Structure 1
Amino acid sequence: MKTLLLVDGSSYLYRAYHALPDLRSHQNKPTGAIHGVLNMLRRLHKDFHADYSACVFDAKGKTFRDEIYSEYKAHRPPMPADLAAQIEPLHACIEAMGWPILIVDEVEADDVIGTLAKRAVVENKRCVISTGDKDMTQLVDAHVTLVNTMSNEVLDEEKVYAKFGVKPERMLDYLMLVGDSADNIPGVDKVGPKTAVKWLSQYGSLDNLVAHADEIKGVVGENLRKATGWFETARKLVAIKCDVELPLTIADLAPKPQDTQRLAALYEELSMKTALQELRQQNDAASAETRGDGVQDMQNSSAVDYQTILTEAQLAEWIDRLNKASLVSIDTETTSLNPMQAQLVGISFCIESLHAAYLPLKHDYIDAPQQLQLDIVLEKLKSWLESPYKFKLGQNLKYDKHVFANHGICLNGIVHDTLLQSYVLESHKPHNMDSLAQRHLDIKTISYDEVTGKGANRITFDQVPIESATVYAAEDADVTLRLHQFLYPKIQADSRQDHIYRNIEIPAMAVLFEMERHGVLLDQVLLQQQSRELNEKLNDLEQQAFSITGQSFNLNSPKQIQEILFNQLKLPVIKKTPKGVPSTNEEVLQKLALDYPLPKILLDYRMLAKLKSTYTDKLPQMINADSGRIHTNYAQAVAVTGRLASSDPNLQNIPVRTAEGRRIREAFIAPQGHKIVSADYSQIELRIMAHISQDKGLLKAFAAGEDIHSATASEIFALPQSEIDQEKRRYAKVINFGLIYGMSEFGLATQLGIERSAARAYMDRYFTRYPGVADYMHRSRESAKASGYVETVLGRRLWLPDIANANAGRRQGTERAAINAPMQGTAADIIKLAMIAVHQWLDGANLQSKLIMQVHDELVLEVPDSEVETVRSKLPEYMGDVINLDVPLLVEVGVGKNWEQAH
């Protein structure tokens, strides 16, 4: 198990300042805190072998806790000037030692550490936190340990209990009871550690204690009851925030090489003679092949053999090797990330680990060496590239297939893709090559930024010197091969994972390439007309809003809306932001819109403005000049559930619940002599629920072809289906779909606009009639807790890293996901199998019809008029036979001149 070492730099900074004498440099600058912190870091480096580490400091300025409670840390004096003067040189020393430094605005070091600690647990890493802060004890568990280098104290789960009298999972409750004088957070008056331990031992938790507060007698009981209204705020102040958005991953915290020269200069400037002497005694001839954490630095390793192909003789030699190889790792360097526009700059190949080559083709800078001519090279490589029997491997080869297609080459023989291998094995983790190399091979690869620069100074790849480009590009091909050698045996070891990878993901990639390449035809004139109409409606809504308020204001400004709604119109505050101000989000406006006109206008305005900016204005700008179509990108390795993600443009989020949203689909048209055909699985997740849960009532209803919502309403309301009206059917529909998403009684009550007791009664009746569903939900939650994942019908693993999260909200959300994920994931598997089956049928039957879109549970095709009846009649058969479930799969097919008509 790898170790993440996190240092609470701010805690040690203050403690070192107060503990050590007033040490000074030869320039009379204070250095005592620097001595103390650096000594502690050197000691930690000796005592712990850390694969990843970071020194975390508080950011300047206020945090979200100051917004919650104005008296938070209000009693603390400003930082002493002598201490403030030591921060900058201290940070410089820490960075020179190779320690990453983390500072995140608006949160404290504790929150950053808490977030990383939880991530470490999810990634099955050991986490050691160096701190003297007792608040950190709430993070301790089987994987997380605290160490205090100033007192030599180590706190694991047992030692936390021995020291405080409560287990780590109850430390938050303990701290809320006793308060935190250091942060000026009050607890319960007159309640100290002994009373807090006594109460928590007796009642188990603070929530249970509050529920029985009437049982606590005397003054201390009165104080407890008075404090109950404070606990919600106290929890927000005391609880370590473990979901901070961080600009990096744990993999990015691999220690960097120590900058000995820089560190020596700093030690001299700070008059740290002992530290300087120790530094000079170290072995300065550290191997260039390893970094400080043992991670291989591939580009400096003498073991690698990376060649540059510049002559025809070298190319001929490599073509011979390619033709003889059983598997070749291939990668392209290009001019653009847009796959439809990218042009080749170079190609890299790897046949054997640590041995790779780069073939530069279009590097164009002063003194660039002569390169082989692009068209001649492609002509010589064409037979190998296009052969389905010359097997290729890559990282996201769908992109490279587009690049070669831009040059008239059809890349065939794709048998492996490390992006998809990672996705099948660990859908919840990053799948980019740099992360994979760090995570699985302990390799720090050269980043794209290192060879091209950043920001305004970034150069295009054709400007990168060929020597640097060779190391970067050849490494990509080499590392991809090594990743395959590591990942694929893991997939092969599990027949179900192997089936998902070889029979779903790899074939689906080829289908998605064809869909992306073909693109979708748009009625640009219609979209422009819709933009004008939407603009008129937006202006009208704006005038309505101005008329209600008696003033003009920016309808896109949350701050102005907040002022008008809550300060001027005095509307009730539904919810507050983390900063303590009234929220104006969509959920709040929807609730207010039930009783007030302005929130309804604002909701309509936001909806129409988004349609205009995201679709009617933007889609015409994304039409490819060469094809006259839009070409979305379907990402396979994004959603944990296996669902595809569409981007540039996103075709899966076009709203269909409003007339304006549906009109946008009218602009997705068929060319002359063609029709759009839509084939949609009906109620697929409910059918999957019936199969997985094996509930007899659901199985029977689907087998009989009954309307499932009417059947459910009949069960819940104890009426024959003939007496079920539309309102009762609507209730049943909300319940059917809500429960498969783990909806609570509160959520159901909100959706239906009824009392929670009534919602609870409906749920109780539902589970009484469908006991198999209740049993499935329980089994799914327990399985997720035990293994950290759930599975689809076909065996795809859907990882749920937050299933044991200490944050109750996130944990409960993950438990709901554990119920729904097997259904969403199975539906994702089914639609991919359907794409593959339909594509193979169209291709094998020599039909001209093309798959052009996949949206949710729907396939959209562009079909010649002469093939419409064939496609319409055959689609339900091919889509319905891709999997054997205990309920039939129903496919609804529509035909029209545009997508909206067909849907």
Structure 2
Amino acid sequence: MTEKLLLLVDGSSYLYRAYHALPDLRSPDGFPTGAIHGFIAMMKWLRERYPAEHAACVFDAKGPTFRDDWYPAYKAQRAPMPDPLRQQIEPIHEAVRLLGWPVLEVPGIEADDAIGTLARVAAASGHQVLISTGDKDLAQLVTPAVTLMNTMAKPPEVLDIAGVTAKFGVPPERIVDYLTLIGDTVDNVPGVEKVGPKTAAKWIAEHGSLDGVVAAADSIKGVAGENLRKALDWLPTGRKLITVVTDCDLTGHVPDWPALEALALREVDQAGLQDFYRRFGFKTWLREIEGGALGAAAPAAPGAAAAGAGAAAADPAPFPAGPPLPRDYETVTTWERLDAWMAQLQAAALVALDTETDSLDGMRARIVGISFATEPGRAAYVPLAHSYGDAPAQLPLDAVLDRLRPWLEDPARAKIGQNIKYDLHVFANHGITVRGYRHDTMLQSYVIEAHKPHSLESLAERHLGRRGLSYEDVCGKGANQIPFAQVDVARAAEYSGEDSEMTLHVHQALWPQIEADAKLRHVYEAIEMPVSTVLERIELHGVLIDSAVLARQSHELAERMVALEQEAYALAGQPFNMGSPKQIGEILFGKLGLPVKKKTATGAPSTDEEVLQELAADYPLPSKLLEHRSLAKLKGTYTDKLPLMVNPATGRVHTNYAQAVAVTGRLASNDPNLQNIPIRTPEGRRVREAFIAPPGHVLMSADYSQIELRIMAHISDDPALLRAFAEGIDVHKATASEVFGVPVEQVSSEQRRYAKVINFGLIYGMGAFGLASNLGIEQKAAKDYIDRYFARFAGVKRYMDDTRVAAKAQGYVETVFGRRLWLPEINSGNGPRRSGAERQAINAPMQGTAADLIKLAMIAVQQALDAEGRATRMVMQVHDELVLEVPAAELEWAREAIPRLMAGVAQLKVPLLAEVGVGANWDQAH
């Protein structure tokens, strides 16, 4: 369950598979299209199934790589690419780009190395990484953050750590050793003669690693032992060839490297695809775009699509397409027609409302036009600020808003929208507080199926079999995109009117599903809808920033960086460029003779963070380099950049809280991301000093204490956990007391640390391997700790077992409040995928319930503030914490009321506890 995903496709590994699946498929003019077809089917399926922030399709570039220099016979036996496949390479690249994917080819390195580098950088920045590949070599990249999927297997095969171990008999960190022993015939890398997968796995299990096998070579008997001894001189080269390089310099190939923003998935180019499908004869996909197959669903699993069972690449629509809906969209340009529509709005039971604006940022947007709908198929568009050469006469904006204001601000007039928070901001920019919103189709979808896309376009296709105009259809895209004010009024009326009436139409499909389920209705009506308006108010108010504090911090960071440079020069015995990996390498490994830990793709000694951390344990200069890098990142990302995001009119930053993104129900903050401010270093924590209270106020931080462990105690009903929380005992000490068999008062700090890792690790599905890695102990010892934990906390074990059974039976799990979290893979025939879903089943109710609780807290606090006419304002929500701006006169009230309100939003089997801190700035409030 993750909020950030990088999706990487190993394009080169799929070319031949896609080609051989449909070798005889050709366009009407005879051009080969089998590989193109298979590739498109896979890319469409991946994007629908795994919505991601960032992605790339990576291909091998033409020409030799550094491995050819190491071993001239590398891949020498490969036959030339068949001409029919070679002809399809460029069209495949074109199709992938039209589908919105960045395409990456890096001369001099293989696709595997680019993928490995991207995966490492993404994982380090907090992403989960899914690599779609058929290449077993990439199994060495698998970590808790990196998973492989072979999309052309039937069914698609997913390999996490457990899956790699089950498939190959060795864990991911031993895949290189395993492959070195068996060799790679595809790449012409010899292994040990007559040593296959079983023998390699057996040797590694017995001796721990390839180095262990080599050390024991003289004791290994039989022909295999003889062959091993013959290969000893070769094995280091073989291992070098097989190891995926993960520190390639992608500068010039990924803009702003190592940032990942250039790899953001783009919108699908529907017009470009339409031309492409027509050129290559893909009639089914062409009909989808042109509307001949309304509502085409997600593409079939690519393994099936590429198997040649037919030319169609898409499953039937989940809702069959009926006859086209009659459409009656009126453009309102006279007071008479506006008054006629106003009468309809007053009489309607529910009105869909949509704004067209001059900006996608709701807090800065101004209205260009407004549309209404009272029934599907029928709508009105009121153009108000279209400005182009021959634009028709339009009603005056301010006068129309004055006419609409009583209806907009009347809470008794029921309204509906798609993403109402945006429109609330837009109307607020014009001095109007819209009341009476009863429904939001985006939130309805989020409550029913959080794991799927929630755009109006997606909802209409998925639930109605309808396709509508996109923003790009009317405004264009890229550098040629025009402001909405320059869109032809007739075209704007078609687009905006459709948005309004389609919103009503989608509501008719979604609302009955929510209305029929009491739990879903509670989540929708008691949590998601009310918190949406609370978030709008928090965003609009913003949080005050002291840019001078950030400027001083930037100056101090710069001074410290200069001092570090001088210290580094003294240790090196000469000045050098601390931003140059080449010069750093020359100093560390040439002049100072430090041991080389690994090499870059070009064969130079690596100076990446992992290497420097390892060297810093024994040598002083690498430590200085690491500190310098850390401060440079902090300065560039936060202390320099955050002041640029301050609204000059308010002196505040106004973040956006994305409500329908995380499948667990958690909020996501962006522009700026206030939930990602670094707090692990003193310098990072100081950034919070710049978040200040205005004169006469203080900032208050109110944070739920150990919320997920309390939720675990509640849902597991474990007596020992319930007792610890009921008696106010330190839960980590209580756990240590049970696991280590000592009285609570005798628990050592080290035992408490172990218990804390166990407590949180089990919540997140950590097994013995992960626990051993976190604690730096043997895997057997970690397993013993887990066994002891479950023996003492039998209720937790019972909860985990029962949850797996329930999830398999119903296909989803729920939070305490009824939020539904679907698990599509819970009954998968693929063991690793099923295991992953089981871990999600255990963790999701806790993450989701914590998300529900903080949302309920926000609602309760805002209601209390409004009811009592308080001047206190919520200014931020960060994870399980609320930050409030409190006038000095209300501080005594807030100290008592805020934690009480937060603790009172739900009655669990253990007490909820919210702790508060107060200060002139956010840091002091902690």
Q: Matched residues in 2 for 1:657 and 1:61: separation?
A: 44
Are 1:542 and 2:565 matched, yes or no?
yes
Aligned to 1:697: 720
**Contact in 2 for aligned 1:425/1:497 (Cα 8 Å):** yes
Aligned to 2:75: 73
State which of 644, 658, 676 in structure 1 corresponds to 2:699: 676
Q: Matched residues in 1 for 2:439 and 2:65: separation?
A: 47
1:703 shift after superposition = 0.8
Cα 1:316/1:569, change in 2 over 3 Å: farther
Cα 1:553/1:8, change in 2 over 3 Å: closer
Aligned to 1:464: 487
1:872 shift after superposition = 0.9
Which residues of 2 match residues 182-581 of structure 1 at below 5 A?
184=188, 189=193, 207=201, 211=205, 219=223, 289-290=291-292, 303-556=326-579
Letter in 1 for 2:30: H
State which of 746, 752, 756 in structure 2 corresponds to 1:733: 756
**Cα deviations across residues 844-880 of structure 1 (Å, max 9, x unaligned)?**
1222211111112111111222211112112222111
**Contact in 1 for aligned 2:443/2:529 (Cα 8 Å):** yes
Aligned to 1:686: 709
Aligned to 2:657: 634
Are 1:723 and 2:746 matched, yes or no?
yes
Letter in 1 for 2:362: P
Worse overlay, 433-442 or 508-517? 433-442
Cα 1:421/1:39, change in 2 over 3 Å: closer
State which of 699, 708, 732 in structure 2 corresponds to 1:709: 732
**Contact in 2 for aligned 1:333/1:473 (Cα 8 Å):** yes
Aligned to 1:37: 32
Worse overlay, 753-762 or 532-541? 753-762
- Report the secondary structure of 1:595's partner residue: coil
**Contact in 1 for aligned 2:168/2:201 (Cα 8 Å):** no
State which of 758, 761, 765 in structure 2 corresponds to 1:742: 765
Q: Matched residues in 2 for 1:33 and 1:579: separation?
A: 46
**Cα deviations across residues 795-816 of structure 1 (Å, max 9, x unaligned)?**
2233456778999998877665
**Contact in 2 for aligned 1:340/1:403 (Cα 8 Å):** yes
- The structure whose Rg is larger is 1
**Contact in 2 for aligned 1:642/1:825 (Cα 8 Å):** yes
Q: Matched residues in 1 for 2:600 and 2:508: separation?
A: 48
**Contact in 2 for aligned 1:589/1:603 (Cα 8 Å):** yes
Q: Matched residues in 1 for 2:682 and 2:101: separation?
A: 52
| Count of equivalent residues | 811
Cα 1:566/1:289, change in 2 over 3 Å: same
- Report the secondary structure of 2:353's partner residue: strand
Letter in 1 for 2:516: A
- For structure 2, the 5+ residue unaligned runs are 1-10, 48-56, 116-132, 140-147, 158-165, 208-212, 214-218, 245-261, 298-316
**Cα deviations across residues 665-706 of structure 1 (Å, max 9, x unaligned)?**
222222222222221111111111211222221111111111
Which residues of 2 match residues 127-146 of structure 1 at below 5 A?
143=155
**Contact in 2 for aligned 1:53/1:255 (Cα 8 Å):** no
Q: Matched residues in 2 for 1:99 and 1:613: separation?
A: 33
**Contact in 2 for aligned 1:289/1:302 (Cα 8 Å):** no
1:771 shift after superposition = 2.7
Aligned to 2:690: 667
Aligned to 1:845: 868
**Cα deviations across residues 452-489 of structure 1 (Å, max 9, x unaligned)?**
22332222111122222222222222332232222233
- For structure 1, the 5+ residue unaligned runs are 1-5, 21-30, 113-128, 146-166, 238-244, 265-274
Cα 1:433/1:32, change in 2 over 3 Å: closer
Letter in 1 for 2:920: K
Q: Matched residues in 2 for 1:16 and 1:714: separation?
A: 59
- Report the secondary structure of 2:30's partner residue: helix
1:433 shift after superposition = 2.8
1:307 shift after superposition = 2.4
Aligned to 2:255: none
**Contact in 2 for aligned 1:256/1:293 (Cα 8 Å):** no
Cα 1:104/1:791, change in 2 over 3 Å: farther
Cα 1:260/1:532, change in 2 over 3 Å: closer
Cα 1:44/1:617, change in 2 over 3 Å: closer
**Contact in 1 for aligned 2:19/2:35 (Cα 8 Å):** no
State which of 766, 772, 784 in structure 1 corresponds to 2:795: 772
Cα 1:398/1:287, change in 2 over 3 Å: closer
- Report the secondary structure of 1:652's partner residue: helix
Aligned to 2:675: 652
Aligned to 2:923: 900
**Cα deviations across residues 869-899 of structure 1 (Å, max 9, x unaligned)?**
1121122221111112111111212222222
Are 1:61 and 2:56 matched, yes or no?
no
Q: Matched residues in 2 for 1:43 and 1:640: separation?
A: 30
**Contact in 2 for aligned 1:526/1:667 (Cα 8 Å):** yes
Q: Matched residues in 1 for 2:876 and 2:99: separation?
A: 48
1:504 shift after superposition = 0.6
Q: Matched residues in 1 for 2:561 and 2:854: separation?
A: 38
1:342 shift after superposition = 0.9
**Cα deviations across residues 408-457 of structure 1 (Å, max 9, x unaligned)?**
01111112112222222232333233333344334443222232223322
Q: TM-score, normalized by length of structure 2?
A: 0.74
Letter in 1 for 2:77: H
Cα 1:686/1:101, change in 2 over 3 Å: closer
Letter in 2 for 1:445: G
RMSD: 5.4
**Contact in 2 for aligned 1:346/1:361 (Cα 8 Å):** yes
- Report the secondary structure of 1:666's partner residue: helix
Q: Matched residues in 2 for 1:893 and 1:334: separation?
A: 40
Letter in 1 for 2:502: V
Letter in 2 for 1:380: R
Q: Matched residues in 1 for 2:891 and 2:552: separation?
A: 30
Letter in 1 for 2:704: Y
Aligned to 1:122: none
**Contact in 2 for aligned 1:51/1:255 (Cα 8 Å):** no
Cα 1:870/1:18, change in 2 over 3 Å: closer
**Contact in 2 for aligned 1:137/1:168 (Cα 8 Å):** no
Letter in 2 for 1:889: L
Worse overlay, 409-418 or 429-438? 429-438
Worse overlay, 318-327 or 33-42? 33-42
1:582 shift after superposition = 7.1
**Cα deviations across residues 557-586 of structure 1 (Å, max 9, x unaligned)?**
566656655666565666788999876665
- Report the secondary structure of 2:924's partner residue: helix
Q: Matched residues in 1 for 2:615 and 2:488: separation?
A: 61
Letter in 1 for 2:415: K
Cα 1:501/1:77, change in 2 over 3 Å: same
- Report the secondary structure of 1:339's partner residue: coil
Letter in 2 for 1:323: Q
